[in-house]
Structure 1
Amino acid sequence: MGRRRWWRGGAVAVLAAALAASVVASTGPGAVAQPMAADDRGEPVSVTLVSGDRVQLWGSDPAAPLRIEPAPRAHSVPFQDYWHDGDRYVVPGDAALLVGAGVLDRELFNVTGLIRQRYDDAHTAAVPLLVEYADAGARARAAVPAGATVRRALPEFNLTALDQDKDSAQNLYGALTRPTARSATGVRKVWLNKRVRATLDQSVPQVGAPTAWERGLTGAGVRVAVLDTGIDTDHPDLAGKTVVSKDFTGTGGVEDGHGHGTHIASIVTGTGAASGGKYRGVAPGVSLAVGKVLDDSGWGTDDGVLAGMRWAAAESGAKVVNMSLGSDPTDGQDPMSLAVNALSREYGTLFVIAAGNYGADRTVGSPAAADDALTVGSVSKQDEPSDFSSRGPRRGDGAAKPEISAPGGSIVAARPAGVPPLGEPVGDGYQRLDGTSMATPHVAGAAAILAQQHPDWTAPMLKSALVSSAHDVSAGVFEVGAGRLDVAGATATPVVATAAVSAYLPWPNAGTVERRTVTWTNTGGAPVTLALSAELVDEKGAAAPAGLVALTQDSVTVPAGGSAPVEVVVTGQEGRTGTYSGVLVASAGDVRTRTAISVYQQEQRFSFTPTLLDRTGAEPVDEFSSSAFVIDLESGDINSAASGQTITLPRGRYAVHAAVTTSAPGQESSYTTISHPELNLDRDVTQVFDARIGQPVIAEPDNPEARGGTHAMYAMSQVAECDCRFAFVTDADARFQPLYAATLPGTASDAYALGVARRATEPGLEMVADDGQEFDVNLQALFSLPPAEETTLTAVYGGSGTPEDLAGIDATGKLVVVEFDPYVGREEWLRRGVNIAKAGGKLAMFRFIDEGATPLPPGDPIEGEPVPTFYGDGSGTVDRLTDLVKEGETTVEYASRETTDLRYELIHGVERQVTAPVVYRPRTADLATMRAAYHDNAPNSAGFVAFGKLFGRYVGTGWFARTAGGRERVEYFTPTEWELSATTGPYVADETVTLEANRPPARIAWNKAVVGPSLRGTTKNFVPEDPHPWSWRNDGRINVKLPMYGDAAGRPRMVDTFSDASGSVTVYRDDVALGTVPVTDFSEYPVPDADSSYRVVADARQHNATWTLSTVVTAEWSFRSSAAGEGKALPMLTTRFDPAVDVRNQAPGNRRFSFPAYVERQDGPAKITSLKVDVSYDDGKTWRPADVRRDGRRWAVSVRHPANGHVSLRSTASDSDGNRLTQTVLRAYQLG
């Protein structure tokens, strides 16, 4: 085998080396890349999915850049990147079919939803799961996956709550993506263990409670369970009310440190003792069972709520359960909704649940979507539907939800002592709040009153009595249910009707008949004859077609002490699909009942069956790496189908992207996307997607040295609902895995585009073997990057890498090739790498093979470090190498490099159709150039990634590439707008720049000292208010989030929860501490409208051995704020220093040294009245003043450097409005 010359130094490489020693001057005007003033994306957020794939997202809008770092797999898979109901989803191709089959909860792939629930990588190291088993036996037999811990067992629901460590996420996921293993586990479905959140003086009389009191009905003798944030047991209105309690949050008690639970409990049963009876609850005679299922931040998890629900129904003695909480909208088939049904039917307990506060149609959340829940919407005190109240119908089957409404706006009820108010304080012990949370306890209290009046009634009868007696408020069923709660009417009427009936008519449905029964029960002493009428309307308010709904009789006589049924007959009408709702009214004199009715006549549907053929003409055997993805071009709904699988879809316009993997012995797989860009589905369709028509998709520079790196193919479709492009992304190795694409012959659409992105660098790893013909081996580093070297190695076969297998070979100094099932677990991977190290091996190659294994139980502690390890998962070239070493030892040529010198970022695309090769080979001279400095003060490498704008969205390759820190180089880009990101040490910074060809190189400096606080731009919490200032006043709260590690350019960088940083942030109002949180976190505190003085004190300390500068950063901000600042940034100052340091963040010693300083205010330009700077050369033990003078819009700072050591800086700044900052950075830069 001939010796290869691996690294050839061309002109570009020489230029990069020449630039490495240059000094970067202070940022100035001209071609320097400056932060965009209107960049609303903020810092990137990373999320590890249940599949082990890592997603990094730069913003909450549909076009925000998104990076996918795929987990190891048998084959590369495409990724769905789409927008649904205001959230961004990323679904790997091998999960899409499982999501469609109901095995995986789609919310596991809701990236923005996971971030919003604080399940991102900065806040949790585990993926929280609810694993549903086929039956109790399967749950009992199930082994805990390696890397998972049991959070809570819920045997009553065949559920187990697991926290799956993100580093070993694929242990469980791998079993699910192999059908035989999935059946062996007994798993029915894996759900996200979602976080659940907490969603009188006029309202109590409004619902008629005083009339019931006059009849002696106060709920006495009835127990209501309140599942919430706990309760202030010492509040005068609730004294002696709690009979039994239990904590499900791990807090250790049920005391309310939030305020929501106390407010809810007092609406149910508060005595009004602290207000002279003014703020009395609906049922002041009720006793309470208090379950704390939400913590003192107002959040809980599904598993805690489920455990609380069972306790409330089975153990607490409660007749009624109030749940003023919930999560995202569902179809009622989620674990919490199903648990409501099961518990209601087993124990007869009525669950009264808030509909939610989304305000839009089809947004009733879980568990309010449950069939048996009494779901409560909100009306104002004028009986108008509240804007915030979630509307029906229920998702999926169009069932009537909510069933009833109650006052939920501006409700005054108890506030716990010593807890900051959530809303407007009223007196010493009350506060005013809005929400369906407030409406719900009105109904729960009313249910308790009815339970006192009728102690033999169970949940269905209580629900029917409340709903059928509701007061008509002239609003739609999907807004308010049957009407507004009327306690006086419910306790007075002798006749109770079925609460609601719904009919779902799946397609085809013309002429289909469904029958529902409404039953009236007469508790009085005389028969009652009721006249019946029902009127339904469509979602636009137009009358339903004649014949859709009919009653079998127009009157009914209900005997005294008896019941009488009437059938509601629903008949599907030709051409009149859609959702209809109305009320069945039964009346006789003063007796009147209301039953909510909904009908969903499903839209016309057609079948779609794809047949997929790979590039050899064969049908793919692996459904997880080859499947068709179907997008509704209007709504964005997505469905997936394997080859030969039939799915049914509504009539409409669709795009179909068929991803086909083609494997060949001894070679790497190729990936082809064949698309039908716009399919008008108006008939049953069977379509062949033949990968043999695929055209090459290539992007590469003219520099042969840059043959490494990755390329990504984006098949894109424009969706009307969000006015954004959905993408199906295939990311692959540019050297080994070719990409192909085509549109079906004769098809084209303005909604279609194809993009390709390429990051071209030198190859990081190369290996050549010879089995009679030289071949390159595709190497993927597993645990860490190996050290740089170029050598010839002997490769030897090591069986499965166990000590027994290795004992029979001489591994010393060799590449040891082993093969085993990857699903034995990541811990076992590490163990086998250590085994090879102990056997004397130099490098390891893992060939992963599917043997149907399941994760092994944890073994003895692993002692030692693994050798540098590569893996091949379905890799044809690794298979070929394995076959070769099985025949005996062989020689391989090997080279590795830890960092790269070259960088090309290329993007290209075509629109409407692909009928010819898509090839982009630009000349280096025609590209935009950037001179990039990667500052570092320790021997680290810097990571980089980029996304270019193409057809209105960002595209790029998902993997971070590495370059050496402490160097400068020239980089090349396709001329366009780019979102750039760089990691140095534990921090990530990003910048948006527009780069043009034929211009002098733009300049950018990453991680340049001085590193300190920066409040530039905006951030996001993935809530409706995004993007927003870092620290701001909103909705009566002070919100504080502090990026303490911004660089000299002012790019904000947050401290990661799992980094080696520590510290805290404390917020004071009028010198009284509102609270303290870790510096890694954000905080919010309710504050009064009145003008007050505030202080924010922050301390951040870095303990990473490779982060030797800005080791301690502290700041203290002083400012004033009032309601006039609502929705605005807080007037907080920062001092930014920009000394002329070199790429090692080092300045010359033993001389006078001057540098600029900038005082910036978060909310905009301000008149800075003073800046004082002190300098220290002994890490802050002693300080001396620096010379400071104003220099136009900045300040000039001058100091005298000693010969060596470190420079620490302390600044004090103030402005004309009285805002003040004291900021300290220890070891701001180094001397040499």
Structure 2
Amino acid sequence: MTTGAWTPATAGDSALPAPAAQRQQRTHQVQLITGDTVEVTDGRVTGFDPAPGRENIPVHVESDGKRSLVVPLDAQRLISEGKLDERLFDAAGLDTAAARRAYKDGLRVIVGYKGAASTARAEVRDAGSTKVRHALKALNAEALTTPSADVPTLWKSLTQADNDVMRTTAQGVDHVWLDGTVKAQLDVSVPQIGAPAAWQAGFDGKGVKVAVVDTGVDADHPDLAGKVVAGKNFSTSPDNEDHQGHGTHVASTIAGSGAKSGGKYKGVAPGASIIEAKVLDDTGSGGESEIIAGIDWAVEQGADIVNMSLGGPDTPDADPLEETVDHYSGTSGVLFAIAAGNEGPGASTVGSPGSADGALTVGAVDSDDKMAGFSSRGPRVGDGAIKPDVTAPGVDITAASSPGSAIAQEVGENPEGYVTISGTSMATPHVAGSAALLKQQHPEWKAAELKGVLTGSTKDTGVPAFDQGSGRIQVDHAIRTGVYAEQTSLNFGTAAWPHDDDKPLTRTLAYRNTGTADVALDLAASGTDADGKAAPEGMFTVSPAEVTVPAGKTAEVTVAADTKVEAADGQYTGAVVATGTDQNVRTAFAVEREVASYKVELSHLGRDGKSAAHFQTYVKGLTGEAAGSEFALDENSDSTVLRLPVGEYSVQGVILADRADSTKGTDWIAQPKLVVDKDQKVTLDARTAKPVDITVTERRAKAQQAYMIYAVKKGYTNYQFGWRLTSYKNLRAAHLGPEITDGSLQQLWEADFHKGADTQYSLVYGGPAERLDTGFTRHEKRRNLAEVKAGIGEATPGKDAYLSTIGTLKGSLMGFASGRMPLDAPSTQHLYLSTADNAQWSIAMEQLGDTLPNGWRVTDATYRVSQAVYRPGNTYTENFNTGVVGPVLAGYSGLTRSTNTLYAFLDVLSDGQGHAGGSTLTSAHTTLSRDGEKLTENDDDLSVFSFPVPAEDGTYTLSSSVTRAPNIALVGTRVDTSWTFHSKDGDKALPASTVHFRPDVDLQSRIKAGRKISMPVEVEGAAAGENLKSLAVEASYDSGATWQKLSLKHGRASLRAPAVDKGVALRAEVVDQQGNISKLAVYDAFLGR
């Protein structure tokens, strides 16, 4: 989890194919809990490597623009049963920057047990080098870290094979969750909620302990002096200090004295004490298990209230954080004030753990009680319940700063010692502080009473309950409230369509009187639709309309939602308002009037025409109310009859002879377009499928991978569905349903084969379609393929490498990466690639380095050719990771200006053949000056650079230098670049140039020592062609101590190769006709052999 709920205020060797626009893509590997490995490139799944022994298990692949699920078939049932966290199979989620940091030592999971489960615990702990990081009391669980190599063993210890090879949880194991990542999410705001009135009444939070579960607290800040009564570090950071600044801001909003500001920035409950649980690291991120361990400890320390200004994405199932919150709310009476999140204003964006039933979930308003655009909204994912519960001020909140912290540096202190930031993180401590005032007034009250009074005494801000809950908190009203509703909100659920026979939906609302005198209440209910339009008269009622609540007791009323009335379908929210003498109690409610929905019955027939013994089918909503929703069915599902809202769906599934081995008979049947507008039956009949047979004529080539996928585009979302198998052996496929003639359907078939250690065949076919292929046959002859001799360069001795290919159908779908077997360097691989159907090919080479503690190999360098088009029968050479390195200005690379900002996107270490890429750097330094005056400098390279500049014309110089260590490369050890150019306001490419040195080096970037060579020198960019004014090239054989000018003739420079194992440095200066100057120097450009 992360902090972050804050924002700053306010024939032979043919000629090479023409290069496509290139940019450095970011490819990473993530590991599933099954032990299988998934390759992710820029958020897209681009490869799969099964763990040993799992080669023949089918793998379902699906993406919808938000998630990229890669689910081996043996894990699906556990996911469907809610025993296995689906996040463990979301490759895009596992590949976020926060996740990569969190899982650098191995896969982190939380395992819940049934009872003592001593045997299960022992077996899990014995899974290789698995380590127990935390024992989580509230969950009867353990937080584990397992290195990559031991994850397959962990999977076997957590699960066991069922009689049909599907996995179930091992005996004693109850749940397996991903230990996910979470992020962190007053002079006007404190009076806004009525805190001064509470102070005047004698309540300042004295005697109340509030736990700040966050990034730490600066206990030395004058506003927090003496406030922190206990503190402990649970994060991965080395100390308990608040280097991020988020927790200090939160703590001072709760209990700050305002001492440094003369009381101006006093917190809500300045008499309260703070328990500091540092669970988020110095970047504002943390793991769920650290947060749970911090909560366990805070409760042990006697916390009355826990503030959690943090969160992560919510799912329909209860996650470990939600279960922990609900556990302590119910058993210990601790109130949890939790940020709703900053993912608004879209619907169903409230994060976890704010989504927990027991949480008092807080959205944000500004000083005028207007909803903050960033504040996350309901309804809650899964059941449509009301979240957030309340709102509080969260825009431009000024509170204590932790000196030198990340937030202080980013937004600046103003006044000194304070920062002003926004977010639901800032709203939440207003509620926690208010709860502390109320707790002081009523020490015997627990979470239920505190939450009931705070939610009931709110101010209606005039927006739907899914935005504001019951309203904005008013603690001055809360301390005068003697009556509250035991149900803080009412969820009527969904009234099934059609509505002409609807019976009123009713809920009981119980009012509790905490006072010593009876209280008479007048009751009224009203609501609005999602657009704020008043609901029809009579849709919401409460009876009786008047009730007297006896002193110290409860009185019940019935609230009804009559969805039979003439009204538009959809969601409605509102509130029951109970008024009496000095009492005004609000209770939010919600109901959904279901849109037109119908029954869809699915049946599955095997190749023999009988009910299929094994199947796995997915139904995905594409349009309408169900867009993005999914249903997974198999032979053990309770029912294969679904009730679906009107709209379009995609149905696809496999019928299998053996779940553990796709080669024994698999039928893939897909209906990319199912229009639900009536009751209907859908039959997936294996007898309609035809064989898929993709081969090459090379008999010794063995199948490595088969990948089949289709996509349906709806609006801006491209829904993709497919399966990854080892081969197409005994596979058949069929299209089901109507043709799709609107151009939204695409399909791809991929087949990969290996012959020995140095030859690979990769084939992709397909493209736009109106029907999916019912059967597909292609026997590819070598003459129809392009051969690519892929040279793996050795930049430094002792390295091995990966080489992989990915095929793409132009303007269509992308296949999976093939290869990724460790290969020696230097070496040459022979790639045979298909050329039909507008195939484009990306080839990537990775130089491998050390092995990390989690078992992954470090990537020292990466180079790739992207989306190249090759011709059949031709042979091409692509040498990777060889000299002479330098910047490339083609495609996405270059220097640009957009209005008054300069941008650089440059791979200054692109290899000698111009492949985009780069490697690990030892150092980097960049400087930008204007008219001789330095504007900025930093210790970064130019891969991503931007800086604001004046609108007026000026002469700029952008200079950068990077270095590489010998264990990364012996060539290109230092690259200096400099561009001097004129620029003024406007959007355009800047007049930058560069030089490419093209000596004929071998795969070790060497040339025979002392040999006289004629080296091609090419100018790229603004000075190319007739716009070149001058070009000078020099060489140095003593690391730049002295330089000698090289003669240039017909685009070639004459020089001698350096001595054995020595390098030569090359530098050039280019001037264009307009006077713009570009300089490049490459040290150890190539070596002598």
1:150 and 2:132 equivalent? yes
* Matched residue type, 2:765: I
Instruction: Specify the alignment match of 2:577 in structure 1.
Output: 585
Identity of aligned residues (%): 29
TM-score normalised to structure 1 length: 0.74
Question: Helix, strand or coil for the counterpart of 2:95?
Answer: helix
- Deviation sequence 1:127-148 (CA, Å, 0-9, x none): 2111222334466565323342
Q: In structure 1, how many angstroms separate the alpha carbons of the residues matched to 2:1049 and 2:489?
A: 76
Which residues in structure 2 correspond to 1:377-392 (within 5 Å)? 377-392=363-378
* Matched residue type, 2:1088: L
Once structures 1 and 2 are overlaid, which stretch shifts more, 443-452 or 214-223? 214-223
Are the structure 2 counterparts of residues 1031 and 378 from structure 1 closer, same or farther at C-alpha, using a change threshold of 3 Å?
farther
Q: In structure 1, how many angstroms separate the alpha carbons of the residues matched to 2:771 and 2:252?
A: 63
1:375 and 2:375 equivalent? no
- Deviation sequence 1:848-890 (CA, Å, 0-9, x none): xxxxxxxxxxxxxxxxxxxxxxxxxxxxxxxxxxxxxxxxxxx
Instruction: Specify the alignment match of 1:881 in structure 2.
Output: none
Question: Helix, strand or coil for the counterpart of 2:368?
Answer: coil
Q: In structure 2, how many angstroms separate the alpha carbons of the residues matched to 1:1071 and 1:438?
A: 38
Instruction: Specify the alignment match of 2:621 in structure 1.
Output: 632
Offset of 1:284 from its aligned partner? 1.8
| Structure 2 residue corresponding to 1:898, chosen from 748, 754, 757 | 757
Q: In structure 2, how many angstroms separate the alpha carbons of the residues matched to 1:606 and 1:723?
A: 25
| Structure 2 residue corresponding to 1:655, chosen from 650, 658, 666 | 650
Instruction: Specify the alignment match of 2:521 in structure 1.
Output: 530
What number of residue pairs does the alignment pair up?
1032
Offset of 1:297 from its aligned partner? 0.8
1:427 and 2:408 equivalent? no
Instruction: Specify the alignment match of 1:441 in structure 2.
Output: 429
* Matched residue type, 1:1010: V
* Matched residue type, 1:335: P
Instruction: Specify the alignment match of 1:469 in structure 2.
Output: 457
Q: In structure 1, how many angstroms separate the alpha carbons of the residues matched to 2:543 and 2:286?
A: 47
Offset of 1:54 from its aligned partner? 2.1
Which residues in structure 2 correspond to 1:1147-1162 (within 5 Å)? 1147-1150=1007-1010, 1151=1012, 1153-1156=1014-1017
| Structure 1 residue corresponding to 2:154, chosen from 159, 172, 181 | 172
Q: In structure 1, how many angstroms separate the alpha carbons of the residues matched to 2:975 and 2:238?
A: 34
Offset of 1:376 from its aligned partner? 0.4
**Structure possessing the higher relative contact order (Cα contacts under 8 Å, 6 or more residues apart):** 1
Offset of 1:1018 from its aligned partner? 6.8
| Structure 2 residue corresponding to 1:743, chosen from 718, 735, 748 | 735
Instruction: Specify the alignment match of 1:567 in structure 2.
Output: 558
Once structures 1 and 2 are overlaid, which stretch shifts more, 115-124 or 279-288? 115-124
Q: In structure 2, how many angstroms separate the alpha carbons of the residues matched to 1:1087 and 1:1201?
A: 44
Offset of 1:969 from its aligned partner? 6.2
Once structures 1 and 2 are overlaid, which stretch shifts more, 605-614 or 1064-1073? 1064-1073
| Structure 2 residue corresponding to 1:323, chosen from 308, 333, 339 | 308
* Matched residue type, 1:212: A
| Structure 2 residue corresponding to 1:132, chosen from 93, 104, 112 | 112
Instruction: Specify the alignment match of 2:1061 in structure 1.
Output: 1205
- Deviation sequence 1:326-376 (CA, Å, 0-9, x none): 111234721111111110122211110000000121011111001111100
Instruction: Specify the alignment match of 1:689 in structure 2.
Output: 684
Contact 1:35–1:1051, Cα closer than 8 Å, also in 2 = no
Are the structure 2 counterparts of residues 1042 and 751 from structure 1 closer, same or farther at C-alpha, using a change threshold of 3 Å?
closer
Q: In structure 2, how many angstroms separate the alpha carbons of the residues matched to 1:1128 and 1:132?
A: 57
1:354 and 2:352 equivalent? no
| Structure 2 residue corresponding to 1:1145, chosen from 1005, 1008, 1015 | 1005
Instruction: Specify the alignment match of 1:908 in structure 2.
Output: 766
- Deviation sequence 1:356-397 (CA, Å, 0-9, x none): 000121011111001111100011122111111100111111
Contact 1:615–1:690, Cα closer than 8 Å, also in 2 = yes
- Deviation sequence 1:504-554 (CA, Å, 0-9, x none): 536758646654333334455654432211112232334446665431211
Offset of 1:306 from its aligned partner? 0.5
Instruction: Specify the alignment match of 2:671 in structure 1.
Output: 676
TM-score normalised to structure 2 length: 0.82
Once structures 1 and 2 are overlaid, which stretch shifts more, 921-930 or 433-442? 921-930
| Structure 2 residue corresponding to 1:983, chosen from 845, 860, 863 | 845
| Structure 2 residue corresponding to 1:728, chosen from 722, 729, 740 | 722
Instruction: Specify the alignment match of 1:309 in structure 2.
Output: 295
* Matched residue type, 2:1006: Q
Instruction: Specify the alignment match of 1:291 in structure 2.
Output: 277
Are the structure 2 counterparts of residues 129 and 277 from structure 1 closer, same or farther at C-alpha, using a change threshold of 3 Å?
same
Instruction: Specify the alignment match of 2:867 in structure 1.
Output: 993
* Matched residue type, 2:273: S
Contact 1:1012–1:1046, Cα closer than 8 Å, also in 2 = yes
Instruction: Specify the alignment match of 1:714 in structure 2.
Output: 708
Q: In structure 2, how many angstroms separate the alpha carbons of the residues matched to 1:1126 and 1:448?
A: 55
Offset of 1:899 from its aligned partner? 0.9
Question: Helix, strand or coil for the counterpart of 1:678?
Answer: strand
Instruction: Specify the alignment match of 1:641 in structure 2.
Output: 633
Q: In structure 2, how many angstroms separate the alpha carbons of the residues matched to 1:165 and 1:306?
A: 22
Q: In structure 1, how many angstroms separate the alpha carbons of the residues matched to 2:945 and 2:325?
A: 33
* Matched residue type, 2:617: A
Contact 1:936–1:984, Cα closer than 8 Å, also in 2 = no
Offset of 1:641 from its aligned partner? 1.4
1:76 and 2:64 equivalent? no
| Structure 2 residue corresponding to 1:1053, chosen from 881, 900, 917 | 917
1:1184 and 2:1030 equivalent? no
Instruction: Specify the alignment match of 2:243 in structure 1.
Output: 257
- Deviation sequence 1:261-300 (CA, Å, 0-9, x none): 1111111122222223222222222221111010111101
1:337 and 2:322 equivalent? yes
Instruction: Specify the alignment match of 1:816 in structure 2.
Output: none
Once structures 1 and 2 are overlaid, which stretch shifts more, 261-270 or 170-179? 170-179
Instruction: Specify the alignment match of 2:852 in structure 1.
Output: none
Contact 1:614–1:660, Cα closer than 8 Å, also in 2 = yes
1:225 and 2:225 equivalent? no
Q: In structure 1, how many angstroms separate the alpha carbons of the residues matched to 2:259 and 2:980?
A: 39
Q: In structure 2, how many angstroms separate the alpha carbons of the residues matched to 1:160 and 1:997?
A: 56
Contact 2:808–2:841, Cα closer than 8 Å, also in 1 = yes
- Deviation sequence 1:200-258 (CA, Å, 0-9, x none): 22222222222322333222222211111011122122122111111111434321011
| Structure 1 residue corresponding to 2:29, chosen from 40, 46, 67 | 46
Offset of 1:309 from its aligned partner? 1.2
Q: In structure 1, how many angstroms separate the alpha carbons of the residues matched to 2:698 and 2:1020?
A: 47
1:1006 and 2:1006 equivalent? no
* Matched residue type, 1:483: G
Q: In structure 2, how many angstroms separate the alpha carbons of the residues matched to 1:484 and 1:1133?
A: 58
Instruction: Specify the alignment match of 2:228 in structure 1.
Output: 242
Question: Helix, strand or coil for the counterpart of 1:1048?
Answer: coil
Q: In structure 2, how many angstroms separate the alpha carbons of the residues matched to 1:93 and 1:688?
A: 21
Are the structure 2 counterparts of residues 1158 and 940 from structure 1 closer, same or farther at C-alpha, using a change threshold of 3 Å?
farther
Q: In structure 2, how many angstroms separate the alpha carbons of the residues matched to 1:256 and 1:729?
A: 47
Q: In structure 2, how many angstroms separate the alpha carbons of the residues matched to 1:36 and 1:520?
A: 67
Q: In structure 2, how many angstroms separate the alpha carbons of the residues matched to 1:364 and 1:1006?
A: 47
Q: In structure 2, how many angstroms separate the alpha carbons of the residues matched to 1:511 and 1:141?
A: 54
Q: Any gaps of 5 or more consecutive residues in structure 1?
A: 1-14, 25-29, 765-896, 1020-1028, 1056-1060
Question: Helix, strand or coil for the counterpart of 2:88?
Answer: helix
Contact 1:516–1:568, Cα closer than 8 Å, also in 2 = yes
Contact 2:1035–2:1045, Cα closer than 8 Å, also in 1 = no
Which residues in structure 2 correspond to 1:81-120 (within 5 Å)? 81-84=61-64, 86-120=66-100
Question: Helix, strand or coil for the counterpart of 2:168?
Answer: helix
Instruction: Specify the alignment match of 1:1230 in structure 2.
Output: 1087
Question: Helix, strand or coil for the counterpart of 1:636?
Answer: coil
Q: Any gaps of 5 or more consecutive residues in structure 2?
A: 1-10, 849-860
Superposition CA RMSD, Å: 4.9
Offset of 1:596 from its aligned partner? 1.4
Instruction: Specify the alignment match of 1:820 in structure 2.
Output: none
